[in-house]
Chains A and B, each alone.
Chain A
Amino acid sequence: MRSTFHGLEVSKRGLFAQQSALNTTGHNISNANTEGYTRQRANMQATTGIPYPGMFANVEPGLLGTGVNVVSLQRLREDFLDVQYRNEHKRQGYWDGRLETLEKLEGIMNEPSDTGLQKVMDQMWQSWQDLAKDPTNTSARAVVRERSKAFADTLNSTYKHLEEVQRDLNNVIGVKAMEINSLGEQIASLNRQIADVVPHGYVPNDLYDQRDVLLDKLSKLVEIRTTPGASGTVNVTIEGRDFVNGAQSQPVATQQNANGLFDLTIAGAAFIPTTGYMAGVYESRSQIVPNLMHRLDVLAVNLTKEINDLHRQGVSLNDIKNGTAQDLPFFVDASTPAGGKDYPKGAGTIRIHPDILGSLDAIAAGQPEPGGNTAGNNKNALAIAAIKFTVIQPGPGPMDLKESSSLDDYYRYTIGQLGIDTQEAKRNLQNSEMIVGTIDNHRQSISGVSIDDEMAELVKFQHAYSASARMMTSIDEILDKVINGMGRVGL
């Protein structure tokens, strides 16, 4: 049997329910531009009815509706899309990290151009040809020296640039490790807050949103996997190792290794990132840049060896004057002690022999002649100029070429490889960006706030609210009639 005020109660429930739906709509609209916000919906359900037996019909009683209640505020989100998003996001991060480095390297190598190493090398070979034309000419010798110096300087400075890039990347690894840790701590702290309220039956939607944003960010940096924990918490692993466990997070630490570069550890155990921005940077620092440096080293070592071997057998103007063979290498290593003849050990340490810097006449343009050496002999200059086309044979050593090619080809191949790698990174990044964009669109399609939607809801709930209020007025009028208008006959 219903009470007299049943109608008032039903209307009141309607008012409350519509109002809380209106509030949810307002919350959605307010957060339309909040990063990672998931739109919420007030799920309404009719409250349990009460038996209402008929007065005249001898049948089973019916159920009288008692109004409505908001049973939950639901976050409209699809977990599967989060998994997809994070999977692709790490790939985007990886290619992003690689591309940044590769583009920097392209800038440093500056090829093809009229100022790159190729041009400097070409000019060096030209200068030897010019010396061959005029072996006694001091200015031709000066040009050989200056062009060779330009070659050495260019290699030195390119190498130094690469070292700087490597150091930079190493710093980035340190900074990104801190960023990962900060994200981990925030996730752990959100886990704690969530675990505090969930057992009491609350659904902390907005905390979930915040945590999902952090997980999205983290997924760009490293390979993560998430598993749901107790009381609404989430556990995160990095590269299969525990990172966030409930309210606890393990720090990702950097440790300087023997080369002065950072190694990564998580909870004390070393790991190498395999994907994500961190891996892109890590590989850049440990592979891409050192590989390029090594190729420059190989170029420098082989090229200077070819020149040195010939130059030592040659005859310089000083040799002719003094009647002795000086046996001078043209290029030496920066670490060579005075009077030493150490060949350059790498692109960063190639220098011109100090004696040649001291005297142009120390350049050996000629080769020994059986009838006595002469100043006009240009055979050595010609032989050195021909190194440009000499095919160097491969060898087993670390500084040997791995395939037979001329040094010119070797350098061009290096640049070509750099171009291909950059192109690959660019293409993959673009693809990843597109996929991430598509997945994000799907996610937005489900979770994003649409002002149009919300406005429609607003109108809907507003009308429902007004109608409930109107209902209340009707009940009021009815009761007024019953209380004040009835039983007053004759009064």
Chain B
Amino acid sequence: MAIRVTQNMLNNNMLRNLHQSMRHMDKLQEQLSSGKKVSRPSDDPVVATRGMFYRSSLMEVEQYQRNVDDAESWVELTDKTLDEVGNVMQRISELLVYSGDGALSSSDLQAMAQEVAQLKEHLGTLANQQLNGKYIFGGSATNIAPYNPAAPTVSGGVGDFTSTNSEEVNLEVSQNVFVGININAQNVFNYPNNAGNMFNVLDQILNTLNAGKSAASFGTAIKDQFDNLLSERAILGAKANRIELVKDRLSVQEVNVTGLMSKNEDADSAKVITELKSQENVHRAALGAGARIIQPTLLDFLR
């Protein structure tokens, strides 16, 4: 059957075509202005949900990076503090060797005791090292000073490491990967036990020196403490290494996820502009054709 074409049909068809082409242009324009291929789940459900997943992943990575940064600064400060503790030990061993010199008078030894007392106090300060208001050597009791300058020691002095908390504080640095940010301070400041820890040894040295005697015999005890400190620092170094590795991995992951996200949902602007341009041409042609088709009827030629 030959189709009989009426003006209304032409009108309706043209309007339908124009609407369709406008809709297409609108979509392209939206893509261009938002830079995204999809703006609603129905544009492409797969891309949309994947986009949600990547956004979520990106936020996770960012959070893990923040956690790693915190862990890093915590470990760095711990390492610096332990280095300082090492320096104090160094100085004390020097003093101990020096005190073995028989030519020293008891007042010389007492002056030496003065310095040891100062060093002990410094050590106490180091044990109470804080990061953002938290005691880094207090285990999980980060709000309680682990070293109490007023606490009596077994050897009769005052100022002891009173914390007994050896809880590890962990941070999540990747999904289900935890890094302990603190070291077990008991292994450093209460080594080998509370009665024989470095503050007790220092008190004993103080007593000895104050009594005008050589304290050279404590050399082994201090060396012991120093060796222990070094092994703890080695553990800390391993931890710092691990954090560094995680940090590198996270930055690679960030780049990956960002790339995937962009690939998944970013509009290819060159492609979109080209499509828009060609759609514009189609639209122009449709308008032009419409203007030509709709206008004349037989009426126009019968005048």
Contacts and interface: CB of A to CB of B under 8 A. Distances in A.
Interface of A: 32-33, 102-103, 106, 109, 111-112, 114, 118-119, 122-123, 125-126, 129-130, 132-137, 366, 369, 371, 374-379, 382, 385-386, 388-389, 408, 412-413, 415-423, 426, 437, 440-442, 444-446, 448-453, 455-456, 459
B57 to A, nearest CB: 10
Among B139, B140, B143, find the residue whose CB has the most chain A CB atoms closer than 10 A.
B140
A102 B13 CA distance: 28
Interface in B50-66: 51-53, 55-56, 59-60, 63, 66
Contacts of B164: 371
Among B42, B44, B53, B63, find the residue whose CB has the most chain A CB atoms closer than 10 A.
B42
B16 interface: yes
Given A126-B59, A133-B171, A444-B6, A416 B49 contact: yes
24 contacts: A32-B8, A33-B8, A106-B41, A106-B42, A111-B52, A112-B38, A118-B52, A119-B55, A125-B63, A133-B70, A374-B142, A374-B167, A375-B143, A376-B167, A377-B167, A412-B52, A412-B53, A415-B49, A416-B46, A416-B49, A419-B42, A422-B42, A423-B42, A441-B12
B201 interface: no
B297 A455 contact: yes
Contact of A129 (B12, B53, B172, B297): B172
Contact of B6 (A125, A374, A448): A448
A374 B170 contact: no
A289 B155 CA distance: 76
A158 to B, nearest CB: 15
Contacts of A133: 66-67, 70, 171
A456 B299 CA distance: 9
Contacts, number: 182
B165 interface: yes
Contacts of A376: 134, 138-143, 167, 169
Contacts of B171: 132-133, 378, 382
Interface of B: 3-9, 12-13, 16, 38, 40-46, 48-49, 51-53, 55-56, 59-60, 63, 66-67, 70, 132-134, 138-144, 164-165, 167, 169-172, 175-176, 178, 265, 297-299, 302
Contacts of A450: 4-7
Contact of B48 (A130, A378, A415, A444): A415
A137 B143 CA distance: 10
B7 A32 contact: yes
A448 B8 contact: yes
A136 B130 CA distance: 13
Contacts of B138: 376
Given A136-B143, A366-B140, A417-B45, 14 more contacts: A112-B55, A129-B63, A133-B66, A377-B169, A389-B176, A412-B52, A419-B45, A422-B41, A423-B42, A437-B12, A444-B8, A445-B5, A445-B9, A448-B6
A437 B142 contact: no
A446 B172 contact: no
A-B pairs, 8 with minimum CB distance: A419-B41, A376-B142, A419-B45, A422-B42, A448-B6, A450-B6, A374-B141, A455-B298
Among B6, B41, B44, B52, find the residue whose CB has the most chain A CB atoms closer than 10 A.
B41
B143 A416 contact: no
B8 to A, nearest CB: 5
Contact of B172 (A123, A132, A422): A132
